[in-house]
């Protein structure tokens, strides 16, 4: 990543006019931040109100008295721990298989050059261009009865892990990255008589830690948020992740408790984002949007 550059030069931005512009920009961005963050703050304080207070009109964002027990109540009554564990199961398994399968395939395409690898690359690009929603129905019927094996993957995490593991985007990005690893390193390994599998695990993967982390974080976010496929595959409520379970479960709860539950559900992705922001930024500027 290059050094930052801005339209105004250093001298200009330090001049009086430049300082005024920067002041206006800062105020504007602070206002925008308030708008963007408001739903989070609102959720948090609404979760502290009584069920009558939440219907009271007016701009009273803060509760008269903070009912912290709301949070404790939804945590236990909704069994939110269960939902979070399910979300982690779905997401971590999905990320694991996605990275493993993608990097194995990318290594083959980049280093081992199988016959027809250009055809496979083209197929992967075509796959990228077709939105998942277009084949969600046959995907569902395939999961209901897997061809050849004739087993159903409904109500099983495999029914999510395996479809998630097929990811053309990751294969293409990793292949591009593997292509840039210097040949000399592989030649040295070849002299030592290392097998492809050993080369893969002892050279390629360690050298690709950064990209694997970025792709892992991006997959984690995407899979944690996924709604439609888990909704279809996990019909058993005890298996459902937060995204699927919470909305239906809170239907019979008063609005203040709904907000408390929503705020708890917001926390894991927020904490992850703040601690992993470096990788998110790296990831978003990669691949399709790299220039």
Q: Measure the CA–CA gap between 211 and 214, rounded to whole angstroms.
A: 5
The answer to whether residues 44 and 265 touch, using CB atoms and an 8 Å cutoff, is no
Site string for other proteins, 85-104 (x = CB under 8 A): ------------x--xxx-x
By beta-carbon proximity to other proteins, the closer residue of 93 and 163 is 163
Options 139, 154, 205, 213; binder of other proteins; rule CB under 8 A: 139
Q: Which range of residues in 66-74, 76-84, 88-96, 113-121 is near other proteins by CB under 8 A?
A: 113-121
By beta-carbon proximity to other proteins, the closer residue of 121 and 213 is 121
3-state secondary structure of 182: coil
Q: Which of the residues 226 through 255 are near other proteins (CB under 8 A)? A: 227-228, 232, 242-244, 246-247, 250, 255
Site string for other proteins, 43-62 (x = CB under 8 A): x--x-------xxxxxx-x-
Q: Measure the CA–CA gap between 20 and 76, rounded to whole angstroms.
A: 52
* 19 scored as a contact of other proteins (CB under 8 A): no
Best CA proximity match to 236, nearest among 24, 113, 86, 98:
86
Q: Which of the residues 148 through 187 are near other proteins (CB under 8 A)? A: 162-163, 165-166, 168, 171-172, 176, 179-180
**Which residues 6+ apart lie within 8 Å of 288 measured at CB?**
169
Size of the site for other proteins (CB under 8 A): 115
Q: Report which secondary-structure segment, H or E, holds 279.
A: helix 255-284
* 191 scored as a contact of other proteins (CB under 8 A): no
Q: Which range of residues in 64-72, 88-96, 206-214, 270-278 is near other proteins by CB under 8 A?
A: 270-278
């Amino acid at each position: 990543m290059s050094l930052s550059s801005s339209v105004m030069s250093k001298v200009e931005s330090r001049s009086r006019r430049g300082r005024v512009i920067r002041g206006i920009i800062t105020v504007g961005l602070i206002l925008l931040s308030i708008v963007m963050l408001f739903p989070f703050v609102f959720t948090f304080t609404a979760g502290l109100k009584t069920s009558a207070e939440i219907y009271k009109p007016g701009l009273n964002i803060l509760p008269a008295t903070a009912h912290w027990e709301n949070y404790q109540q939804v945590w236990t009554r909704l069994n939110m721990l269960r939902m979070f564990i399910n979300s982690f199961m779905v997401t971590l398994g999905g990320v694991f298989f996605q990275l493993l399968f993608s990097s194995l395939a990318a290594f083959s395409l980049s280093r081992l050059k199988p016959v027809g690898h250009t055809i496979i690359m083209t197929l992967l690009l075509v796959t990228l261009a077709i939105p998942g929603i277009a084949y969600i129905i046959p995907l569902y019927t395939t999961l209901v009865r897997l061809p050849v094996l004739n087993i159903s993957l409904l109500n099983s995490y495999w029914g999510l892990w395996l479809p998630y593991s097929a990811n053309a985007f990751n294969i293409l990005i990793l292949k591009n990255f593997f292509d840039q690893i210097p040949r000399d390193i592989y030649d040295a390994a070849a002299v030592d008589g290392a097998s492809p599998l050993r080369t893969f695990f002892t050279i390629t993967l360690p050298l690709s830690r950064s990209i694997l982390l970025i792709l892992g974080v991006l997959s984690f976010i995407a899979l944690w948020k996924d709604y439609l496929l888990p909704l279809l595959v996990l019909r058993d409520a005890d298996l459902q992740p937060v995204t699927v379970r919470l909305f239906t479960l809170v239907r019979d709860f008063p609005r203040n408790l709904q907000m408390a539950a929503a705020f708890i559900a917001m926390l894991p992705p927020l904490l992850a984002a703040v601690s992993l922001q470096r990788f998110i930024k790296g990831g978003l500027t990669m691949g399709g949007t790299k220039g």
